[in-house]
Structure 1
């Protein structure tokens, strides 16, 4: 069922390989082609996210106004989104598109270097008459620029640490690219303040991504390295387009600051009300007075004596 996607990706790699005759360059060209296809979604999601941020003051007011009525709040939120033509799920589009692409590329690159019973490659997903198949068939390595793209960096460093150093440098370079990309995004964040936990997560996220790549085929590491370079260029373009002097990003930043001020004012009012309630004197409660024996009750009648049989109970 899914073979058609795998075969299409393998055909694309073979097409570029037929042009350039180099595995890494062919994979890099596929990476660039995929990023070019996803770029419109990225720009659309960025614009949608900034438009959502620009509505934060209005959203905060609605949350304060309908705090006790969740259903009414959701209705008012939907009206606000429709009025400004905003899709709250738009920012998820690039991520949703990237997940199946990763699965396809992982499956294809692993299938191209699938080994048969004799320990040599038995390429999958491409016809036998293609240039890529013929170059890999009965081979034991997928060599490109001195690296075996068929093994993972962990395997290469485990077999021979000295020969595995280029693979380690590749991972370090990829982690550096992830870090640069993350810093570019963080520098223009519309919510400048974040919790210490969020700051720690953002700080170590590039390291986590780089460590994850150690256990993937080196061909896929090369694919992601080209994507990381492309994203850095893409983020630079987004910064120039949306974060100029009168850009949507600047408006979103100002709206975010305004929304935080509204939130602080609301918190201060709530705290003040709670303090006033605590300091308010408690209402005086009248104590019930039980008349003594044979003493007149408030109605003027003497209290009824207690029978001897009930006095000791």
Structure 2
């Protein structure tokens, strides 16, 4: 280990140089949110720092919305293509090279990128590491990030929420106290929300034929593996970081629910529910696709006017001819001589 130490120091410095822009952005957003809530709850309040972390989460996830939508659609397209993938696997079972070429050709023709579903997670992980390093450094009384100061670091170290220190962790555990209770609740919430996000995608927005095969097996493995990984790693996360990750999962649940509801995959339970909603609103689902604006309803029948219809409206055959008006003749005026007679 002593011989490796001189080599690890330059690597650590190189890593800090790469992460410096993210440390700058994370610390800047965190301090900005802290300044907004400080007049309301106090600069050293745990509620102030908790709300600041949640605001940071909302800002980050809002910026990632386009990538998240692309991830959902890419995962859906990958799963719906599994029947075709299985056909290629049967056709080129003895030629792995040809199988790979034909599979990539099919992906290109269908406009599907196999790596697109991983991009949002890969982009979020550096942000997660940056926040981890900022909060982890603050828990140890160290400054990380251009906008963080020693005063703010001390504030985070002293801030508490529900009696637990935001810089506290589940382990190491000298005694089972508020830090462990709050951390355990957040770890369970993080794991449960992570599991539901994966389950929501596979159970509601995947056709039955896509739920078999190697890709489906990998999806099921990820469904159980990811929550376990985060659950094990969560015992070493600061409570502030657990708040961030739980809030991020809850955001994903709501965002994914909206995307699946508005743009479901044909042949899935979500699509059947979408068709039912459109019929209840008086629309024909076959005339447009999910995500498109439904056509306008036909104008309602106008209320008949109180006036009598004209001849043109009634029709010539139903019109009775008008009777000629008889002009009454006035009696001729007589002269005075005639009146005397």
How many angstroms does 1:76 deviate by? 2.8
**What do the CA deviations read for 1:34-56 (whole angstroms, capped 9, x no partner)?**
11122211211221222233333
Among 173, 186, 206, the residue aligned to 2:227: 206
1:180-259 alignment to 2 at 5 Å? 180-188=196-204, 189-190=206-207, 191-193=210-212, 202-203=223-224, 205-243=226-264
1:88-99 alignment to 2 at 5 Å? 88-99=114-125
Does the residue aligned with 1:237 lie in a helix, a strand or coil? helix
**In structure 2, do the counterparts of structure 1 residues 173 and 240 end up closer, same or farther at CA, with 3 Å as the change threshold?**
same
CA distance in 2, matches of 1:213, 1:200: 20
**What do the CA deviations read for 1:101-127 (whole angstroms, capped 9, x no partner)?**
221111111223333xxxxxx433245
Is 2:183 aligned against 1:167? yes
Q: Is the 8 A contact 1:111 1:125 kept in 2?
A: no
TM-score, reference length from structure 1: 0.64
Unmatched tracts of structure 1, length 5 or more = 116-121, 252-313
Unmatched tracts of structure 2, length 5 or more = 1-16, 39-47, 273-341
Is 2:164 aligned against 1:143? no
Look up the match of 2:56: 30
Does the residue aligned with 2:145 lie in a helix, a strand or coil? coil
Look up the match of 1:107: 133
How many angstroms does 1:216 deviate by? 0.8
Where relative contact order (Cα < 8 A, 6+ residues apart) is larger, the structure is 1
Bigger CA radius of gyration = 2
Is 2:140 aligned against 1:124? no
Does the residue aligned with 2:171 lie in a helix, a strand or coil? helix
Give the length in aligned residue pairs: 241
CA distance in 2, matches of 1:221, 1:164: 12
Look up the match of 1:39: 65
How many angstroms does 1:13 deviate by? 0.6
How many angstroms does 1:165 deviate by? 2.7
Deviates more, 1:217-226 or 1:77-86: 77-86
TM-score, reference length from structure 2: 0.60
CA distance in 1, matches of 2:83, 2:266: 21
Q: Is the 8 A contact 1:136 1:142 kept in 2?
A: no
CA distance in 1, matches of 2:157, 2:86: 61
Look up the match of 1:283: none
Look up the match of 2:22: 5
**What do the CA deviations read for 1:36-90 (whole angstroms, capped 9, x no partner)?**
1222112112212222333333333333333333333333333322322221221
The CA RMSD measured in Å over matched residues stands at: 3.4
